[in-house]
């Protein structure tokens, strides 16, 4: 029996026996399970590759492999993308946000396995990035294609993509509540009963999948021993300020390095420049290798010497200030290594580098406070390490609630809830002031394509400009006489506005309103003497289809008080957008968005 016939029968049976709400619940649990499996596969493959390379070759042969591994990994990723996948791999959360905003939640089917083939090689061979972004992208691609298979609408597709994100994070960190909050904060989902239960089901099925494969193992196995002391509040506030400036540094370096690599048009150039650069960094600073969770765990348990024992200068690790200096160096270079990995063509995410930088920054600040000699009571270095993670995560991702609940769940309790809130709030507030968009959303935000919790802005972003352009306007050329305008345009048109174009290249020169013609249209003595160029006027605003987003278009109507505005593409006349049709499309999208 043909596949489409089987699918049709399934859809008919589903429509008869299962309500739409129940079916969404079923799909959300399925999406959570598949996202969890995807995350498990990514983690296992990466750890196997890293154990094989770093554990055997580096340990028993030569330290120089630290230089070669990243280059070999990037070459393998390039070959897989070019000859196996044959399409660009969308491996991060920004690509998923772009699919929601500009592609109606549609993600190509090859993206379901693209990250699984490339991200473990990137990270396993030393790329200084994480696996959370690829895990979310993999789950999002699976959920998008499941939605298309069962012909879900765009709102349901977006919800299921959020379920996939929650499932991926829940599986990786075994933090189901933080995963749900992450989906709501980053993907701008509404926190309603309609969305809450699917997110819960997805997160739950994913975390159960993780427990089934990994047992009780967690990435950051730690339990709080040092209690929060009220006198430490100023120190946690200071930590929030430091986290904010670390986040701003993260954003700036990431963006500038991406711009640098974008200027290298050849992927071979990117690979060579980036591969050599990341190889040199990891050769001299081995802790930058891969995700860095081993380093974080060493800091949390109070053993920084283990993380720094391979420093290339063989510095004395019994001196606390040398340890602080080396830790500060890791904070400084981690984002450089991560951004270079991305620029060179590596596949990964920035979630793990953010945690890495936050943990080291927090540990470094605690050591400075404890050894500067200005304060009597020492602060808890392990607590500052954990809270530092939350601070930088809140600043870089613009997701303070995710940061708070993630660390709270990872530590198995809420004893650090107050310092987490203090540090995350201060970091987020300062970072938001200097960097309006997170690393995930900076590109979409600059283009005006970012969907946010602002309903009006979100609806305008989702609207398709091409669907509101009207083309049933009769155009005239600049050299047409008044008689030609009357006989060839006015008589034949049911509109009261006529675009004036250049007869050669069709560029828009102006518009003629019917009101402009009323005083002279019945004076036939002027039919051969008056030309379109003499009676046309400049339109109050012009809409550029390539540059203007719906938010800009709506503002142009508001500022000009016009009812019709001409649309151009590269200066060439395309049609008109009417305010009435635009508002009708807005109301229709509003009903779909809120139903």
Q: Each residue of 467-482: pLDDT tens digit?
A: 788 888 888 888 888 8
The residue among 62 and 398 whose pLDDT is bigger is 398
pLDDT class of 516 with cuts at 50, 70, 90: confident
pLDDT class of 311 with cuts at 50, 70, 90: low
Q: What are the counts of helices (DSSP H) followed by strands (DSSP E) for the chain?
A: 26, 7
Tell me the CA distances in angstroms from 334 to 74, 327, 340, 466, one per residue in order: 18, 11, 10, 43
Please state, in angstroms and rounded to a whole number, the distance separating the CA atoms of residues 310 and 286. 7
Please state, in angstroms and rounded to a whole number, the distance separating the CA atoms of residues 90 and 587. 33
Does the pLDDT at position 460 exceed 70? no
**Looking at residue 495, what is its pLDDT?**
83
- Name the strand (E) or helix (H) holding 481: none
Domains and CATH numbers, the chain: 3-214 (1.10.3080.10), 230-451 (1.10.3080.10), 458-594 (3.10.580.10)
**Looking at residue 590, what is its pLDDT?**
61
Please state, in angstroms and rounded to a whole number, the distance separating the CA atoms of residues 366 and 98. 39
**Looking at residue 449, what is its pLDDT?**
46
Please state, in angstroms and rounded to a whole number, the distance separating the CA atoms of residues 31 and 105. 15
- What stretches of 80-153 show up as alpha helix (H) in DSSP? 93-102, 111-124, 132-149
For the chain, give the mean pLDDT: 82
Mean pLDDT, range 234-259, rounded to an integer: 92
**Looking at residue 63, what is its pLDDT?**
62
Mean pLDDT, range 257-267, rounded to an integer: 86
The share of the chain scoring above pLDDT 70, in percent, equals 86
CB under 8 Å to 52, separation ≥6 — which residues?
none
Residues 157, 144 contacting (CB under 8 angstroms): yes
Report, in angstroms and rounded to the nearest whole number, the Rg of the chain calculated over CA atoms: 29
- Counting every residue written for the chain, the total comes to 595
Look up residue 9 and give its two tokens: 């029968």
Q: Which residues pair with 537 in a beta bridge?
A: 511
Q: Which of 101-105, 196-200, 411-415, 440-444 has the highest mean pLDDT?
A: 196-200
Tell me the CA distances in angstroms from 62 to 127, 283, 284, 287, one per residue in order: 19, 11, 13, 16
SS3 for 499? Answer: strand
Residues 66, 289 contacting (CB under 8 angstroms): yes
The residue among 177 and 14 whose pLDDT is bigger is 177
pLDDT class of 126 with cuts at 50, 70, 90: confident
The per-residue pLDDT for range 520-538, each reduced to its tens digit, is 888 788 888 888 888 888 8
Please state, in angstroms and rounded to a whole number, the distance separating the CA atoms of residues 163 and 179. 9
CB under 8 Å to 155, separation ≥6 — which residues?
592, 593, 595
- Plot region of 290 (φ>0 → left; ψ -120 to 50 → alpha; else → beta): left
Handedness of CA 496, 502, 503, 504 (dihedral sign): negative
- Plot region of 302 (φ>0 → left; ψ -120 to 50 → alpha; else → beta): left
CB under 8 Å to 31, separation ≥6 — which residues?
139, 142, 143, 146, 160, 163, 164, 167, 202
Does the pLDDT at position 413 exceed 90? no
- pTM of the full predicted structure? 0.76
């Amino acid at each position: 029996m043909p596949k489409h016939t089987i699918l049709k029968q399934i859809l008919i049976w589903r429509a008869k026996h299962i309500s739409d709400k129940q079916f969404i619940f079923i799909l959300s649990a399925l999406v959570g399970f598949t996202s969890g499996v995807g995350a498990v596969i990514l983690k296992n493959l990466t750890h196997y590759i890293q154990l094989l390379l770093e554990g055997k070759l580096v340990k028993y042969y030569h330290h120089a492999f630290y230089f070669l591994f990243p280059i070999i990994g990037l070459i393998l990723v390039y070959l897989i993308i070019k000859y196996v996948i044959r399409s660009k791999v969308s491996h991060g959360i920004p690509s998923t946000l772009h699919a929601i905003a500009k592609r109606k939640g549609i993600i190509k089917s090859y993206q379901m396995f693209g990250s699984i083939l490339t991200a473990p090689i990137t990270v396993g061979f030393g790329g200084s990035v994480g696996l959370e972004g690829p895990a979310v992208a993999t789950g999002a691609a699976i959920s998008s294609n499941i939605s298309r298979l069962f012909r879900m609408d765009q709102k349901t597709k977006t919800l299921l993509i959020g379920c996939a994100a929650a499932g991926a994070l829940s599986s990786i960190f075994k933090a189901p509540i933080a995963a749900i909050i992450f989906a709501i904060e980053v993907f701008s989902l509404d926190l309603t009963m309609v969305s809450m239960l699917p997110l819960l089901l997805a997160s739950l099925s994913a975390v159960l999948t993780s427990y089934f494969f990994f047992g009780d193992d967690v990435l950051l196995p730690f339990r709080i021993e040092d209690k929060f002391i009220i006198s430490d509040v100023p120190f946690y506030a200071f930590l929030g300020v430091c986290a904010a400036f670390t986040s701003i540094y993260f954003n700036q370096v990431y963006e500038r390095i991406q711009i640098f690599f974008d200027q290298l048009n050849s992927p071979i150039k990117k690979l060579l420049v980036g591969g050599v650069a990341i190889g040199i960094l990891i050769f001299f600073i081995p802790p930058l290798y891969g995700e860095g969770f081993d380093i974080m765990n060493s800091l949390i348990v109070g053993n920084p010497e283990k993380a720094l024992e391979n420093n290339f200068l063989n510095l004395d690790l019994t001196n606390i200030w040398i340890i602080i200096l080396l830790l500060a160096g890791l904070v400084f270079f981690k984002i450089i290594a991560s951004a270079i990995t991305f620029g060179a063509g590596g596949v990964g995410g920035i979630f793990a580098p953010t945690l890495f930088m936050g943990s080291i920054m927090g540990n470094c600040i605690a050591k400075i406070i404890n050894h500067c000699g200005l304060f009597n009571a020492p602060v808890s270095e392990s607590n500052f390490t954990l809270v530092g993670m939350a601070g930088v995560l809140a600043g870089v991702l613009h997701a303070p609630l995710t940061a708070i609940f993630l660390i709270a769940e990872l530590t198995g309790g809420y004893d650090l809830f107050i310092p987490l809130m203090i540090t995350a709030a201060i970091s987020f507030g300062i970072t938001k002031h200097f960097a309006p968009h997170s690393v995930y959303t900076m590109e979409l935000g600059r283009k005006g394509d970012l969907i946010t919790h602002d309903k009006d802005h979100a609806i305008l972003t989702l609207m398709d400009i091409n669907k509101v352009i009207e083309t049933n306007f009769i155009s005239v050329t600049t050299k047409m006489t008044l008689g030609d305008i009357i006989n060839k345009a006015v008589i034949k048109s049911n509109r009261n506005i006529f675009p004036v174009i250049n007869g050669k290249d069709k560029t828009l020169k102006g518009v003629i309103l019917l009101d402009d013609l009323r005083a002279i249209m019945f004076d036939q003595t002027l039919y051969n003497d008056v030309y379109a160029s003499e009676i046309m006027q400049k339109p109050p605003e012009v809409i550029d289809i390539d540059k203007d987003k719906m938010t800009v278009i709506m503002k142009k109507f508001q500022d000009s008080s016009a009812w019709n505005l001409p649309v151009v593409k590269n200066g060439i006349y395309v049609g008109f957008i009417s305010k009435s049709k635009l508002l009708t499309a807005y109301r229709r999208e509003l009903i779909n968005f809120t139903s």
